[in-house]
Chains A and B, each alone.
Chain A
Amino acid sequence: MYFKMKKIIIAVLFLAVSFSSCKESDKKSDAAATKKEISDLSIYNLPSKWTTQDGKDIELKNLRGNVLVMVMIYTSCKAACPRLVADMRNIEKKLDASTKRNVKLILVSIDPETDTPERLKTFAIDNQMNHAPWIFLRSSEENTREFAAVLAVNYKKITPIDFSHSNIISVFNSEGELTYQQEGLGVNNDKAIEVINQQARKI
């Protein structure tokens, strides 16, 4: 009961915040304008909040300064996802050792209802991915739909436990701009690796 109350209060607060954000004020850019502004095409313009497999809440812009390699999956998936995960692993293996620290490999859940942080954690451990450079993310259904829209990933729930989804791996440069997309399963990843390593060297 206590938890329910808390959830409701949080929901109400969240609503209040999101409504107020609809009237734009003339506030100058964020407090510390030390960094240069986020570019027009950056995913860091998205205000959505995400939770990692460790239960940590982040915004995408917290990842700024890294090359991001992102894929959308769901953990109960038996068909394409294991192969997509394998494709991500193959990319990891070919990362330049010297610049690997600048790269984050991110798996975003399209099934936030099932994929709780705990479940993502279990999946990460089972797949020996519970460490850098791997990050698992989940958010609300709406934020997930929006993020997929940015990535041009289509997905649809087809049964309570199954989804159809596009098989796309997206590479973002350190400013969050989409730099390359690899489409399909088990395709040649030379170009993706080249782009990732090249972007990671620039950091």
Chain B
Amino acid sequence: MVSIKEGSFIPLYGATSQKPLLVKSFDMDIYPITNAEFLDFIKKNPSYSKSKIKGIFADKSYLTYWASDFDFGKVNPKSPVTSVSWFAAKKYCECQGKRLPTMDEWEYVAMADEKKIDARTKKEFNAYILSWYEKSRMYEKEIGQTFKNYWGVYDMHGLVWEWTADFNSIFLSGESRKDKGNDKNLFCGGASVNASDLMDYAAFMRYAFRGSLKAQYSTRNLGFRCASDVKVQNVNF
């Protein structure tokens, strides 16, 4: 894990005001969880294997590409595990003494490129993210082959989508008047496409995807990584 320093940012979506949002310091996994790592977890927790997992925790597509309960088949062991439900991802992190990152934490880390904490206004950065959205089967690649960002974290863009702890806090269906924000601008489509439009579009894709998820769902391009609160040392009880 690497440590992510406290900071403020304005999320592109899901924010209710234009005020910067404070993200407290936390630790984040450098890479998404791999097939090999997930297999280790399943060996210790067979109730999360594909044949044993309970229907309330995962739908039928859970680990569909795995050959059997304890065999992920022909995929690269160091490729990210996908087709996992939110419940399974959450349990994995808990068993490591960690947790899933919140959406704000995830987005905060994801806005960094190699050099800057917030590269969201850079045209090349957005073009890179969007070009990945167009590529298929990137989930077959090994972890750590995309760029290392400012924090030392890899694969936030370019490999797989990732679960967040509070993915179910998105409102794009019009349930909440307050959260709708600028969505209509996206749908109506301005004539010009500048860097900030691209930036909005890339983020909108992520938020819209999260908004479409249910915790039991699992899809082939959706993986996860873990985070944890900064470990406090020398605590005197």
Interface residues of A (CB under 8 A from B): 5, 8, 18-19, 22-24, 40-43, 45-46, 142, 145-146, 148-150, 152-156, 158-159, 164-167
Contacts and interface: CB of A to CB of B under 8 A. Distances in A.
A45 B52 CA distance: 13
A42 to B, nearest CB: 7
B116 interface: no
A158 B178 contact: yes
B56 A40 contact: yes
A154 B168 contact: yes
Interface of B: 14, 16, 44-47, 54-57, 86-87, 90-91, 94-95, 97, 99, 165-166, 168-171, 175-176, 178-179, 211, 214-215, 237
Contacts, number: 76
B168 A149 contact: yes
10 contacts: A22-B94, A23-B44, A40-B54, A40-B55, A45-B57, A145-B166, A155-B169, A156-B14, A159-B16, A167-B175
A26 to B, nearest CB: 9
Contacts of A146: 87, 90, 215
Nearest to A38: B54
Given A40-B56, A167-B175, A155 B168 contact: yes
Between A8, A142, A149, the greatest number of chain B beta carbons within 10 A of the residue's beta carbon is seen for A149
Contact of A24 (B44, B90, B94, B176): B44
Given A145-B165, A164-B171, A156 B215 contact: no
A-side binding surface: helix, strand, loop or mixed?
A: mixed
B171 A154 contact: yes
B165 A164 contact: no
B176 to A, nearest CB: 4
Given A41-B55, A167-B175, 15 more contacts: A19-B95, A142-B99, A142-B165, A148-B168, A149-B86, A149-B168, A152-B168, A154-B169, A154-B211, A155-B168, A156-B166, A158-B179, A159-B16, A164-B171, A165-B176
B56 A41 contact: yes
Contacts of B94: 18, 22
Nearest to B57: A45
Nearest to A183: B175
